[in-house]
Amino acid sequence: MQYTLAILKPDCVERKLTGKIIDFIESHDFEVFRLRKLQLTKKEAQAFYSMHKGRDFYEPLIEFMTSGPCLPIILKKDNAVDAFREVLGATDLNKAADGTIRKLYAETIRRNVVHGSDSDENAKKEIAFFFPTMNILV
């Protein structure tokens, strides 16, 4: 088994899609291993997205991710990272495959309802960021 991180973003929570999205994820044979609800501070969002600092979308991303509560979720499944990226769909909803979360629920490239780890290494780092007391080997 492998673990990955999903974040149901502030637009997902605001639009009351959390139950639908979790159900969708579980219907693709993922186990919700841990989840929590929180509101990121600006400092936390800047730390989490530090790799994007200096890019034109960085400040709007920080503003968006601190605009309301989000739900970080540890998902468990064989080949979890790649499997979740497939279920998630492309960041740009216009490029997302039919039947993916972003194709079904995203409004824009920024308001795309869910984050998903893009590699095993990043999954481990992201899980540790949101669940620092968990000792998970991805």
What is the distance between the alpha carbons of residues 131 and 123, in angstroms, rounded to a whole number? 12
Closest CA to 69 of 19, 26, 9: 9
Reported residue count of the chain is: 138
Closest CA to 3 of 120, 110, 98: 120
Is the C-alpha dihedral spanning 54, 57, 58, 60 positive or negative?
positive
**Annotated catalytic residue within 9, 102, 115, 124:** 115
Active site residue 115: yes
Active-site residue set: 115
